Structure 1
Amino acid sequence: MENLNIGQHISRRYNEELEDIRNRVLAMGGLVEQQLKDAMTALEKRDAGLAAQVVERDCEVNAMEVAIDEECNRVLARRQPAASDLRLVVAVIKTITDLERIGDEAERIARMVSTLVREEHSTRLFTQIRNLGHHVSSMVHGALDAFAHLDTEKSVEVWSEDRLVDDEYDSLMRELMTYMMEDPRSIPSILQAMFAARAMERIGDRAGNICEYVIYLVKGKDVRHTRVDKSG
């Protein structure tokens, strides 16, 4: 397998274009991370004002995805990249799609907050999903760190966390169902908690996807639907 040659082209402008694309992905990732953090804080504190800010900023995430996608298309048209350069562009296009969807899930969580402010019993119930939220937030951060450093070992580590998130999600859903059966008055709040938990579980899936793209970029292997191997 050939080594990545990002930043090693004869054309300085080409080097700059590829590096700019990577930097813009990381900037988008930083914004998405902040969106997720603020959505989780708004959910825990039932802060409708902060939730509204998350919803309003979603357009920024969308705009960044469009801009990066357009730049990738320009590189494909002008440079006709091959080998590792082509893998970089493909990995970026896929990564920004998952980042945009993580942003959508953060917005979805934030939109739930406005319906919870008036729910008397929601604080106790939504405290139960805090650990899940922190877990998937850590996965997103780790996936972006792996992308920044082209770190396949970190990618495998983060990717493996998705199974734990799935188990945590299943356990939480059983717990929320128990609450709902014990106190029918809490059903509206519990349903919102279930929707939020489902959004978080999907965020974990998206973070895992980004890790798969890093492995593809570095090693040229498509590891979707397979068992990831550190030594492959």
Structure 2
Amino acid sequence: MDKPKIKKLLCQVSEGSLSVDEAILQFRIEPFKDLGFAKVDHHRSLRKGTAEVIYGDGKTPQQIAEISSAMLAHGQKTVLITRMDPEAAEVVGTSVPLRYHRTGRIGIAGELPEPDGKGTIVIATAGTCDIPVAEEAALTALALGNEITRVYDVGVAGLHRLLAHVDDIMSARVIIAVAGMEGALPSVIGGLADCPVIAVPTSIGYGTSFGGLTALFSMLNSCASGVSVVNIDNGFGAGYLASMINHIGVD
């Protein structure tokens, strides 16, 4: 939306010929930016509360760079890029200011926002092998303006490791529990915490883990109340949902 149209809408609101809700609707339905290969939704944050996120896998480095540049040029302060390869990060980093996190395959262009969520999001993993998925969740939550605490390698094979972090578990507003194998960690945490627990099954495990299906089914059948489940290896989805929960009640 260009400045003259914005000014006209604001004048109409001031004069009383257009209600505030009607003006907001006009902002929400404003067209996207067509780059030819992608249609950048600049007004998603007005509708959803969170700006568009770039899924890097399958896009060329040049496409990611052009989309990121368009979003930053439009005034977006932080651009989150998921499933980004190091080679793509090298190219994109020549066009926009970029922080690249290899473990979580996350790129963050622009500024990291100050945390404005109501509490802390705890990200816990059963094992070290689950950390890449957990880092995708953690960095997503950071890029969306949240305080986070990492509690890694605290699986049920050594339950005392989790209990050493019971203060973090009890004080969290949301917990993301990441596990492969049999996927038992979210149920254990769900039995300790009084906040929502988001379970993330990973594709870590031997043959009968079936690429994460065993962990997924285990989490779906959790006997602990308040446990929800996202898709296999979907750290981004968990981080995004946790951020939404953590921002409930924030003006």
TM-score range, shorter chain: under 0.3
Structure whose residues are more often helix by fraction:
1
Higher relative contact order (CA 8 A, sep 6+): 1
TM-score (norm 1): 0.25
TM-score (norm 2): 0.24
